[in-house]
Structure 1
Amino acid sequence: MLRTLRALGLAALLAGMSLIAAPPAGADTLTPVGGGTGIIFRLQPTPEAPTSFYICTLTAVGRDSAGNLVALTNAHCFIDEQGNKLVGASVYRDTSPAGTAFAPAPIPDSRPDLQTGPIGTVTYVGTPNNLLNSGPKGLDYAVIKLDESRVAATNTVGGVTITSIGAPPANGTRMCKQGHRTGLTCAIKLGTNGIWFTHLIWTDGGDSGSPVVVGQTLVGNAWGAQHSSPILSIIDELNANGGVGAGFHLAS
């Protein structure tokens, strides 16, 4: 039985599934990951035979000022039902094919890439958006330190290529997102709502964290309810906090 875990948290729980582990990846095999790559995590009881899991999408892959290969996604992906931030959680690539707006990727089809193994570890979980509650309003981003023995950065996933970072465009400008659940969807920017910007881009469960782009310029991360956080604001906060992710810039 499937149920949605968060109204804005575009993560999902699946019961009654079993997997057979694949052999470990060879040392010379690197799996490409980038903005738009689906991720799967909180696999219970084990990654090899889970009965439940959560899914989201990477916003971007880059390097920080210390040279670490890191990925960004949404904070709410890594906050549990008790409000605990799941720093230290292992993240896998979702091997299921990305869907489209008219044929969303079936959540029960999501599978961890056991051949590659864990692609990284969550090192920071920021303040979630809290749009629909009275909690503090945040930029809703998390940082994952990637394992360079397993993955390599790519700037193209699905229908989106990311070559630069910039500010959200003027209202009425066409923008697109690449999410694992609904693939490439596009619509116009509507305006702003506090620290966020708003648009008509369609998202669905599993798209949380999707890169929002204008052409090949990354301008934000999508987290549901037609809202996104500006990537430049996220980078400013990362730099102010220091640590893994500070000095973020695109890796390719």
Structure 2
Amino acid sequence: MATIAAVMAGVGVGTASAVPVAVLGGGSGIMTADSAGTGKFECTLTTIGYDAGGRLVGLTAGHCGVPGDLVGAEYSPDSGVVGRIVSSVPGLDYAVIQFDPSRVAPTNHVGNATITGLGSPATFPGVMCKEGRTTGTTCGITYGQFFQNSKTYTQICVVQGDSGGPVLAGTTLVGMVNAYLGPFSCVGPEVGTDIGAILDDINRGGGVGTGFAPIP
């Protein structure tokens, strides 16, 4: 596994250097660092696509970084810095990443996850699955929404690093992984934020990410 320092080693690579393109999609491992290149978090990309302004953007969990943080592709460290976090919303716990299209090739398929569209979360006793950089593909029953309409609780196994992972009903993206409840991972329920609530919030705020749609 690449270290954060290795992923961020491409900071300042000149235009004359041949920089490999990182293939990224929902479920890809990403790493964040501050503007000095100091590593911060290992997380998972929720999805990637284009906004209404034609910018290549993606989503991840909000606690994975703050605006201005650098983003690297875990399994393509030679690609260096592939994007930056442009906004982070603590309440819904999501962040918007603007990617460098010269360093990223977007895909809708990573591991066992394929994203073909957006939808509402499953309800009890439906089953949803997630793709995470730490635990890969895991699935579990849906308990539903209890405390906040933007949050869904499932029995999907998640651990540190899976934050931001896409939560899927088949090939439909319905949310992102944010946390698990209780002292032990994969025992307490997973808490995820509905993708609809995230996109509605982005569209209300305007700017990068407005009108986002995942690549087909």
Amino acid paired to 2:85 = V
Give the Å deviation of 1:114.
3.4
Of residues 85, 88, 91, the one that matches 1:125 is 88
TM-score (norm 2): 0.84
Q: Is 1:215 the equivalent of 2:178?
A: no
Amino acid paired to 2:18 = G
Q: Note the alpha carbon deviations across 1:16-40, whole angstroms, 9 max, x for none.
A: x975958x6736x432101001111
Whole-Å Cα distance in 2 between the matches of residues 141 and 18 of structure 1? 24
Which 4+ residue blocks in structure 1 deviate beyond 3 angstroms?
17-22, 43-46
Matches within 5 A, 1:31-46: 31-42=22-33, 46=37
TM-score (norm 1): 0.73
Give 3-state SS (helix, strand or coil) of 2:32's partner.
strand
Of residues 41, 44, 60, the one that matches 1:73 is 60
Of residues 139, 144, 158, the one that matches 1:191 is 144
Alignment partner, residue 57 of structure 1: 44
Amino acid paired to 2:78 = Q
The Cα RMSD (Å) is 2.3
Q: Note the alpha carbon deviations across 1:68-126, whole angstroms, 9 max, x for none.
A: 01010011111xxxxxxx2111100112xxxxxxxxxxxxxxxxx43111110110111
Identity of aligned residues (%): 39
Alignment partner, residue 153 of structure 1: 106
Count of matched residue pairs: 198
Amino acid paired to 1:122 = I
Whole-Å Cα distance in 1 between the matches of residues 135 and 35 of structure 2? 25
Q: Is 1:114 the equivalent of 2:77?
A: yes
CA shift in 2, pair 1:18/1:155, >3 Å: closer
Q: Greater strand share, 1 or 2? A: 2
Alignment partner, residue 7 of structure 1: none
Q: Note the alpha carbon deviations across 1:180-211, whole angstroms, 9 max, x for none.
A: 01000001111103131110001001000000
Give 3-state SS (helix, strand or coil) of 2:79's partner.
coil
Unpaired segments of 5 or more residues in structure 2? 181-189
Q: Note the alpha carbon deviations across 1:115-168, whole angstroms, 9 max, x for none.
A: 1111101101112xxxxxxxxxx2211000000000011000111000110001
Whole-Å Cα distance in 1 between the matches of residues 87 and 215 of structure 2? 19
Unpaired segments of 5 or more residues in structure 1? 1-13, 79-85, 96-112, 128-137
